[in-house]
Amino acid sequence: FKDKNIALTLMYGDAYDMLSSIKNSEHPFFERANNPIFDAWFLDGFSPKNNPEIWSAEVFRVIADLSQPGTTFSASTTDNFTKERLIQAGFSSETITHSKSKVGYTRGQLIDWRNKHIPKKSWNPTLFNSSHKAPWYLTPEIKKPSKAIIIGGGISGCSTARALAERGISVTLIERHKRVAQEASGNAQGVLYPKLSSSISEISRFGISSLILASKFYKNFLDNKQSKIYGDRCGVIILPKKSDDIENFKRISLEYPDDFVRLIINKELDKKAGLPLSNRFGLFFPQLGWISPPEACRWLVEHPLISVKSAEVEDIQLKKISGSKEESWVATDNMKKTLEIADIAVIACSFESKKFNQTNYLPLTRVRGQTTAIPANNVTSCLKTVLCGKSYFLPAFNNAHTLGATYKTNENQASNLMEDHEENITQLDLLDQSLAENFDPVDASSLDGRTSFRCTTPDFLPIVGPAPKLNNYLKDYKLMKKNARSHIPIPGATWKGLYLNIGHGSKGLSYAPICADLIASQVCKEVPPLELDLRRAIHPGRFIIRDIKRNKL
């Protein structure tokens, strides 16, 4: 409901678990630290006798943690136990009975939180095992900004700019090239595709959440009358990498509804693909497809609150500006000329993010990737969906198929390499033999393609959230060197108003929307799009904590 400035968040699961997952911390000392705040609660969980879990004291305490004095509630019960639990959580409570129907309900508002007394000595860090993780991941509270700087004009930077602008924040996006999407986001075609696993892990859960949001995020873009130029929601088929993938594919297809993913076999597989394949089974994602990243970036920055500036940011500093009570971020070029001043800054410039003093410790890897454009023919032009497996192969666009991409670390060659074209052609045979047989032998030196450099992380998850202060982390969490489970009730120190959105690897199109939404929710104190454990899994401070525990820092 963007036209009404309304966002609907649906949470499926146990009430206590779901509500707890949107809090900023699970540590008992920080139960209400910078949580999103609700103004009104409508509680309807049927009879407390039939559904006691949703009316429990634990649920009401979490509701209080997500409220502020004056937050109201209305409950569809007049049960005395429920009223007592609400009062214990800090709410006033009164019963209202309709004169005609005699049906009653309970209403009230939060008067004050029932604060637990925490002895002063409990705040002291100690080596003993704590049952609670140190709150290094705690998102700091800031005043909603009026202006923001985004450094980097790729898909992550453009998505972040759009997310902030849609919340009324004026954004200046600074890109070192003359136009956005000139580096890793510059490929003519990019694929929305998943990294799936039948096991439940942080990376698989993050991937699914990202894809669900991304498929909706790009809907208006792809449903544009010119969508065939910008991309195509043609579906994506994941082909097996080995014959025993069938059991894994079956488990995955049972986990999700058919309109998101389903297993297709034999004739249906060929029909969805549009041509005969050697593989006899695959996972079909009907809502996914391919997108032109440059067009998506240009579409994202078309907003009245977004301005794009062509310049290279050499340095950023938090400074007190004359005439202002608050400190601001100042972006300067290599001549120390001020490029922009704003309340917050978001670094979204891939591995170049390491050049800033505040973020030079980041464990980023530069990965060279080369795609190949191979001419379409009468048979391959019939391909209707994106095929992914050992590599990916896209439907014809401008009379050519995109296939790839290579994955090479520690290589800096910016121009296309003939051997990489040959590697991509070899990978096509591994993707599907019948598909590869539709092409005559081709001279790799005659092929076109594109080379760019991805930014990856050690755990293949992006780095998203507030930028940590390295020296403070080293000082505050030093006890973790001796005991990783030490009692350390200290929030992670971060640079005020500085955020990161980097490390998307080859999943930029899929990951960027949810990461941009997460940063916007942290800046504006909204309900986050990810659960607490997933926010912690992509937090910029996680590698510092990991290396402290391993005695590497």
pLDDT of residue 2: 64
Q: At what angle do helices 508-524 and 155-165 cross, to 10 degrees?
A: 30
Length of the chain: 553
In this model, does residue 243 exceed pLDDT 90? no
Q: How many angstroms separate the CA atoms of 546 and 429, rounded?
A: 40
State the alpha helices, DSSP H only, in 460-499.
Answer: 470-476
Mean pLDDT of 135-157: 97
pLDDT digits over 68-83, tens only?
A: 999 999 998 888 888 9
Q: How confident is the model at residue 246 (pLDDT cuts 50, 70, 90)?
A: very high
CATH number assigned to the domain covering 2-118: 3.40.50.150
Two structure tokens written together for 417: 């390499």
Give 442-494 pLDDT, tens digit per residue.
889 899 999 999 999 999 999 999 999 999 999 999 999 999 999 999 999 99
pTM confidence score: 0.94
Exposure of 337 by Cβ count < 10 A (0-12 exposed, 13-18 middle, 19+ buried)? exposed
Between CA 394 and CA 404, with CA 400 as vertex, the angle to 5 degrees is 45
Q: What is the mean pLDDT of residues 337-347?
A: 98
- Between 315 and 119, name the one with better pLDDT: 315
Task: Return the CATH number of the domain spanning residue range 147-183+295-362+459-549.
Answer: 3.50.50.60
pLDDT (0 to 100) of residue 104: 82
CB-CB neighbours of 551 under 10 Å: 9
For the stretch 395-419, pLDDT in tens is 999 999 999 999 999 889 999 999 9
What's the pLDDT at 526? 95
Lowest mean pLDDT among 112-116, 146-150, 207-211: 112-116
Contact 499, 346 (CB under 8 A): yes
Contact 448, 418 (CB under 8 A): no
Of 81 and 380, the one with more pLDDT? 380
- State yes or no: pLDDT of 194 exceeds 80: no
The predicted structure's pLDDT at residue 120: 79
Token digits of residue 363: 């464990």
Percentage of the chain modeled with pLDDT above 90: 80
Q: What is the pLDDT of residue 193?
A: 84
Give, as one character, the DSSP assignment of residue 131: S
- Split at pLDDT 50, 70, 90, the class of 4 is low
Per-residue confidence band for 195, with pLDDT thresholds at 50, 70 and 90: confident
Q: Is the model's pLDDT at 138 over the cut of 90?
A: yes
> Is residue 263 scored above 70 in pLDDT?
yes
- Running DSSP on this structure, what letter comes out for residue 61? H
The full DSSP string for 297-329 is HHHHT-STTEEEEE----EEEEEEPTT-SSEEE
Domain ranges of the chain: 2-118, 147-183+295-362+459-549, 236-286+365-456
Contact 449, 404 (CB under 8 A): yes
- Residue 118 pLDDT exceeds 90: no
pLDDT of res. 244: 83
Q: Which of 40-44, 318-322, 337-341, 437-441 holds the top average pLDDT?
A: 337-341
Checking phi first, is residue 362 left (phi over 0); if not, alpha (psi -120 to 50) or beta?
A: beta
Cα distance between the two ends of the chain: 47
Q: What is the pLDDT of residues 491-527, one digit of tens each?
A: 999 999 999 999 999 999 999 999 999 999 999 999 9
pLDDT surpassing 70 at residue 365: yes
pLDDT of res. 200: 79
Q: Which helix (H) or strand (E) holds 544?
A: helix 542-549
CATH of 236-286+365-456, one of 3.30.9.10, 3.30.200.20, 3.30.450.20, 3.20.20.140: 3.30.9.10
**Model pLDDT, residue 438:** 92
Query: What pLDDT score was predicted for residue 456?
Result: 96
pLDDT band at 325; cut points 50, 70, 90: confident
Residue 117 reports pLDDT greater than 90: no
Round the average pLDDT of the chain to a whole number and report it: 93
**pLDDT for the residue 30:** 94
**Of 26 and 121, which is predicted with more confidence?**
26
- The pLDDT of 272-278, averaged and rounded, is 96
Res 81: pLDDT: 86
Confidence at residue 167, expressed as pLDDT on a 0 to 100 scale = 96
Cβ atoms 345, 211 nearer than 8 A: no
How far CA 513 is from CA of 60, 159, 300, in Å, comes to: 32, 6, 11
- At 226, the pLDDT band (50, 70, 90 cuts) reads low
Note the pLDDT of residue 102.
63
Residue 192: predicted pLDDT: 92
pLDDT of the residue at 450:
96
